Structures are given as structure tokens and as C-alpha cells.
Amino acid sequence: MYQSTKTFGHQLGLSSAFRQWRAESHCRLIHGYALSVKIVFAAHELDVRNWVVDFGSLKSLKTWLENTFDHTLLVAEDDPKRDELLALDKMGLARVVMVPATGCEAFAELIFGGVEVWLKDNGYAPRCWVESVEVGEHGANSALYVREPVLFPRLDGGSFLTTSDNTPLEPASEY
């Protein structure tokens, strides 16, 4: 299997503010980071240029990341102060983006799903898939969302193990 990575580093300036409204710490307050994003792509076969993905084709993906995470206030759909935070957008004080949940783990999952759609829309899937997404707050803290293997049922009631692209593997022989 081949893998390639694309990193959008802290220097790109995906500067987002958000809050973890359920936190009992200072993280419940609006705070921000210049987020980094690392995407791992994978494929069993390379394209005609011997690439997993053409890095030059990622401009539209970068634009989506910038529209979602650059100079934005990210608000969780279930934030009890959602209406007040959305009012900041109406007053021209913030560019508010509603997301399912906030935090690096949630952002990694959101980006993972966005990359899967991007791969399909740009003709890479099913040859190529996203293996993982890592989102970093800074050099010390990051979170990953990783493709989960799927277990396929066997006739004997067990399950086949699978690779990350869900290709079934034969079970190990028992001794």
C-alpha cells in the first residue's frame, strides 16, 4: 500500500476560535489557535503519474479548510449559547461557522469527512482514500481521526479482519 501526506501547518494561519462549552476548565471560554492539519492519503495503486494524489490539485481542499477554519468562530450545534454566538456574525463582529462539535478531535473527524467527499468529487476515489487526519492546536497538542477497519462476518460466525481500505484478510491459522 502507498501513502502520501499533505500538511497545512500552523504557519498557514487557520486561525480559529471556539469553546468547549462542556469543559469545567478555562477551555469553556472562547479561545483560539492557528490550527495545523495533516492528511494521510492511501492507495493500493498509483495513478498514471505514479502518485497517490496530485498535490497541485489540493487547492480546492485548501480553500475549503480556509473557509471553515481561517479567522472563524466555530460554534458547536448544541452549544447552549449558540444564538448569542451567532449574533456576533450578524453584528459583523465574527465570521461564525456552525460545526457539529468543537475541539481537535471533532475537527479531525469533520475534515476526514470533507476529504472523503473531496476525493470522490475530484475522481480519486475509490482508488485513493483518506487514512487519517491529524489536527494540532500547537506543537504539544493534537488529535487524530483514523479510518476504522470494518469486520466482515464469516460463515462460521466469526469475522474477517480487514485492512484500512476494508479489504478482507484471511484469519490467522489456529494451532
On the 0-12 / 13-18 / 19+ scale of CB atoms within 10 A, 27 is middle
Q: Does some domain include residue 153?
A: no
Q: Does some domain include residue 35?
A: yes
Q: Does some domain include residue 134?
A: yes
Long-range contacts formed by 116-121: CB under 8 A, 24+ apart: 118/60, 118/61, 118/64, 119/41, 119/53
Does the structure show a pLDDT above 60 at 163? no
Confidence band of 171 (pLDDT split at 50, 70, 90): very low
Confidence band of 89 (pLDDT split at 50, 70, 90): very high
Q: Does some domain include residue 161?
A: no
Q: What is the pLDDT of residue 42?
A: 96
Grid cell of 27 as nine digits: 477551555
**How many domains, the chain?**
1
Q: What is the pLDDT of residue 148?
A: 81
Cβ count within 10 A of residue 154: 11
Higher pLDDT, 13 or 160: 13
CA 6 vs. chain centroid, Å, equals 12
**8-25 confidence digits (pLDDT tens):** 998 887 999 999 999 999
Q: Does some domain include residue 6?
A: yes
Grid cell of 5 as nine digits: 501526506
Q: What is the pLDDT of residue 172?
A: 44
Q: What is the pLDDT of residue 152?
A: 60
Among the ranges given (60-74, 106-120, 154-168), the one the predictor scored with the smallest mean pLDDT: 154-168
pTM of the model: 0.85
Q: What is the pLDDT of residue 95?
A: 97
CATH number at residue 36: 3.30.479.10
Q: Does some domain include residue 85?
A: yes
Q: What is the mean pLDDT of residues 61-75?
A: 96
Q: Which residues constitute the domain of residue 88?
A: 2-148
